[in-house]
């Protein structure tokens, strides 16, 4: 079955992936494409609708991202957001005011009024808060357009040409700060584009299973199984598709959480898949000796993973495919297309140049974290694995700042276990999206008993997020943090100070390295 498709054309906006996510929440399949995508390719995809993203540029400058005006001749409904709306106006003959008119700039929460006779705002409140982020502004509209929304500073906060089904918003409907934004996108998708909403996890699972089976044929596949949510769901999906043709390799790097290696082995002992555990702690720690730079850590671990898989593959005969639990945020942060590299994920940007497999299969590559969990539930994966705390491929190596030693690993394992235990005791383990401890390389003076100490500072991190692309720090109650702090300094050696990270993403990332 071919799903109805909406295309998000990326003009360099920071929320481009979030737009795609919001579309999928409406049960409509969506793909993100660069504004450089040829018109012929877009036409061949036969989309039900197109969404232009925002972007940091001024549309009237020569080097700003633009598409051929043929995009407006496809007969496909278009929604332009921020820069995308300005591009639409500029491309169809309107004018954009320059950024030096500071009186027109708007940033952050803004009150806006809407014409609810427009299909874009049908059934919504006439007044609500939106999220603005623009210097330039729409000065005059092209022929056929009219204003359907305005703020105190922005007379063209939303526009439409209903005959051609072109719509634009100067604000960002995709962010949570825009109170009715989700419903606005729904109105565009259903009222304007005429979508039915035929994309579900059940459909995804069926299609993915069929495609994996067709690709692998009679070949063999090797899965990099960490025991985390992503690789466990990938395992379940692959097992459904190819059964005994799959071998799961669990590499215990020595950088797992406390007792995690044994827990993972137990979880897959009776799963029906070929499970191989490789104890490689000394090997990884040896490679990382003396290394302090985060990207080097990731690269070293990424290559060593591959080398271990290659060695294990030779033991079980010819293996054609390597399977990884890569998900969408991994791809984005590792630098996809024109995107900047934020950090290399060991299963994306951390791969070595040469890999001794016919092909790498990443069945979850287009899914966000919550979609991965939904797929796991659909496939009948054990709930404990579906809701397992996210854990990065490089493991504790990127939660130990500075050089990694066996002693530091043991310290962090014990401290992290206490933090996770107290969060579970407080029944916050389902409310906080991700929580963990970080062993910093900072030492400070303390006093324990009657003596002076000079030991490590432990940082605690807890975040709330729906997609792991953006995140806010979790407001963990003080009494819970106090319990963790008291237990850590009393039960774990070499730590005399505990701090809590209250930074959102952005500007920080979720992990520290």
Tell me the percentage of the chain whose pLDDT exceeds 70.
92
Among 47-51, 101-105, 132-136, 385-389, the minimum mean pLDDT is found in: 101-105
Q: What is the mean pLDDT of residues 343-355?
A: 44
Structural domain contains residue 513: no
Mean pLDDT of the 201-209 span: 90
The confidence score (pLDDT) of residue 348 equals 40
Cα distance between residue 169 and residue 84, in whole Å: 8
State the CATH number of the domain containing residue 345: 3.40.50.620
What's the pLDDT tens digit per position in 356-372?
Answer: 678 889 999 878 888 89
129 part of a folded domain:
yes
* Same domain, yes or no: 50 and 117: yes
Element of type H or E holding 53? none
User: With 70 as the cut, is the pLDDT of residue 390 above it?
Assistant: yes
Is residue 479 predicted with pLDDT exceeding 90? yes
In Å, the largest CA–CA distance within the chain is 81
**pLDDT-derived band at 147, boundaries 50, 70, 90:** very high
**268 and 219 share a domain?**
yes
User: How large is the average pLDDT for residues 235-245?
Assistant: 91
420 and 286 belong to one structural domain = no
pLDDT recorded at residue 184: 97
Token pair 């299909």 is found at 119
Tell me how many domains the chain contains.
3
- Are 226 and 331 in a shared domain? yes
Report which of residues 506 and 122 the model is more confident about.
122
Q: Which of 61-75, 94-108, 168-182, 308-322 has the lowest mean pLDDT?
A: 94-108
Mean pLDDT of all residues in 264-280: 84
pLDDT in tens, 33-50: 999 999 999 999 999 999
**pLDDT for 5:** 94
What is the model's pLDDT at position 331?
67
Give yes or no: residues 243 and 361 share one domain: yes
> Which among 3, 30, 82, 333 is annotated as catalytic?
82
C-alpha dist (Å) from residue 490 to 339, 356, 495: 45, 48, 9
Strands 158-161 and 146-150: antiparallel
- Domain for residue 507, yes or no? no
Of 316, 351, 386, the residue at which a domain comes to its end is 386
Say yes or no to pLDDT of 488 above 90. Answer: yes
Same domain, 146 and 28: yes
Q: Kindly report the CATH number assigned to the domain that includes residue 110.
A: 3.40.50.880
- Judgement on whether residues 176 and 248 belong to the same structural domain of the protein: no
Query: Is residue 132 in a domain?
Result: yes
Assess whether pLDDT exceeds 70 at residue 355: no
* Co-location of 371 and 419 in the same domain: no
Looking only at the bridges linking them, the beta strands covering 49-52 and 78-81 are parallel
Q: 53 or 270: which carries more pLDDT confidence?
A: 53
Q: How much is the pLDDT for 172?
A: 92
User: How crowded is residue 241: how many other Cβ atoms within 10 Å of its Cβ?
Assistant: 22
The CATH number that applies at residue 489 is 3.30.300.10
Residue 4 has pLDDT above 80, yes or no: yes
Catalytic residue among 3, 26, 134, 172: 172
Radius of gyration of the CA atoms of the chain, in A: 25
Q: Are residues 358 and 407 in the same domain?
A: no
Residue 441's SS3 state is strand
Dump pLDDT digits (tens) for 414-472.
999 999 999 999 999 989 999 999 999 999 998 877 678 899 999 999 999 876 777 89
> What's the CA gap between 435 and 481, in Å, rounded?
12
In a domain, residue 458? The reply is yes
**Quick check: is 82 catalytic?**
yes
Q: Are residues 213 and 342 in the same domain?
A: yes
User: Are the CB atoms for 319 and 222 separated by under 8 Å?
Assistant: yes
* Threshold 0.75, pTM exceeds: no
Q: Does 509 map to a domain?
A: no
What percent of the chain clears pLDDT 90, i.e. is strictly above it?
57
Residue 217: partners with Cβ closer than 8 Å, 6 or more residues away? none
pLDDT at 127: 94
Provide CB contacts within 8 A for 11, sequence distance 6+: 35, 52, 53, 54, 55, 57, 65, 83, 84, 87
How confident is residue 110, by pLDDT bands cut at 50, 70 and 90?
confident
Domain termination site, one of 331, 359, 386: 386
More confident residue, 29 or 102: 29
Average per-residue pLDDT for the chain: 88
The one catalytic residue in 4, 106, 174, 260 is 174
Residue 36 covered by a domain: yes
Which of 477, 408, 394, 396 is CA-nearest to residue 441? 408
Whether residue 378 has pLDDT greater than 80: yes
Task: Choose the final residue of a domain: 386, 415, 436.
Answer: 386
Query: Taking the alpha carbons of 231, 233, 238, 239 in that order, is the dihedral positive or negative?
Result: positive
439 in the same domain as 410: yes
Range of the domain at 185: 5-192
pLDDT at 338: 45
Q: Are residues 205 and 347 in the same domain?
A: yes
Q: Is 172 assigned a catalytic role?
A: yes
| pLDDT band with cut points at 50, 70 and 90 for residue 344 | very low
- Take residue 173 and report the two structure tokens written for it: 């409907």
Please give the pLDDT value at position 180: 93
Q: Is the pLDDT of residue 101 over 70?
A: no
48-62, 271-285, 380-394: range with lowest mean pLDDT: 380-394
């Amino acid at each position: 079955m071919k799903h109805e498709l909406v295309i998000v054309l990326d003009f360099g906006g920071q929320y481009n992936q979030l737009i795609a996510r919001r579309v999928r929440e409406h049960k409509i399949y969506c793909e993100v494409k660069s504004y450089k995508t040829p018109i012929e390719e877009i036409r061949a995809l036969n989309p039900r609708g197109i969404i232009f993203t925002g972007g940091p540029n001024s549309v009237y400058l020569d080097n700003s991202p633009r598409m051929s005006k043929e995009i407006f001749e496809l007969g496909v409904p278009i929604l332009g957001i921020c820069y995308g709306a300005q591009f639409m106006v500029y491309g169809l003959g309107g004018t954009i005011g320059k950024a030096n008119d500071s009186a027109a700039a708007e940033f952050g929460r803004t009150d806006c009024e809407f014409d609810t006779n427009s299909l874009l705002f049908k059934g919504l409140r006439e007044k609500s808060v939106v999220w603005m982020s623009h210097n330039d502004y729409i000065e005059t509209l092209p022929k056929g357009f009219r204003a359907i929304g305005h703020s105190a500073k922005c007379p063209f906060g939303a526009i439409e040409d209903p005959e051609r089904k072109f719509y634009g918003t100067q604000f960002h409907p995709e962010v949570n700060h825009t109170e009715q934004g989700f419903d606005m996108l729904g109105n565009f998708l259903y009222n304007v584009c005429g979508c039915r909403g035929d994309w579900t996890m059940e459909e995804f699972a069926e299609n993915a299973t069929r495609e994996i089976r067709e690709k692998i044929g009679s070949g063999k596949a090797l899965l990099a199984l960490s025991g985390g949510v992503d690789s466990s769901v990938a395992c379940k999906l692959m097992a459904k598709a190819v059964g005994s043709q799959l071998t799961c390799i669990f590499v215990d790097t020595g950088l797992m959480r406390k007792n995690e290696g044994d827990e993972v082995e137990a979880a897959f002992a009776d799963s029906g898949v070929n499970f191989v555990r490789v104890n490689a702690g000394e090997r990884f720690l040896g490679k990382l000796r003396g290394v302090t730079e985060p990207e080097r850590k990731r690269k070293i671990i990424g290559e060593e993973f591959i080398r271990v898989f290659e060695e294990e593959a030779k033991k079980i005969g010819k293996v054609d495919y390597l399977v990884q639990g890569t998900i969408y945020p991994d791809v984005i942060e590792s630098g996809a297309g024109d995107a900047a590299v934020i950090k290399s994920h060991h299963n994306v940007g951390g791969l070595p140049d040469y890999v001794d497999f016919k092909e790498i299969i990443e069945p979850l590559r287009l899914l966000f974290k919550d979609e991965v969990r939904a797929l796991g539930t659909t496939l009948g994966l054990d709930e404990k694995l579906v809701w397992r705390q996210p854990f990065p491929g490089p493991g504790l190596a990127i939660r130990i700042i500075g050089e990694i030693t066996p002693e530091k690993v043991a310290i962090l394992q014990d401290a992290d276990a206490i933090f996770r235990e107290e969060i579970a005791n407080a029944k916050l383990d389902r409310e906080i999206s991700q929580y963990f401890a970080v062993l910093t390389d900072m030492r400070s003076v303390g006093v324990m008993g009657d003596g002076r100490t000079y030991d490590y500072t432990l940082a605690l991190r807890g975040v709330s997020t729906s997609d792991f692309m953006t995140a806010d720090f979790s407001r963990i109650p003080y009494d819970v943090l106090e319990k963790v702090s008291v237990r850590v300094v009393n039960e774990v050696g070499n730590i005399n100070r505990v701090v809590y990270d209250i930074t959102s993403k952005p500007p920080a990332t979720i992990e520290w390295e």
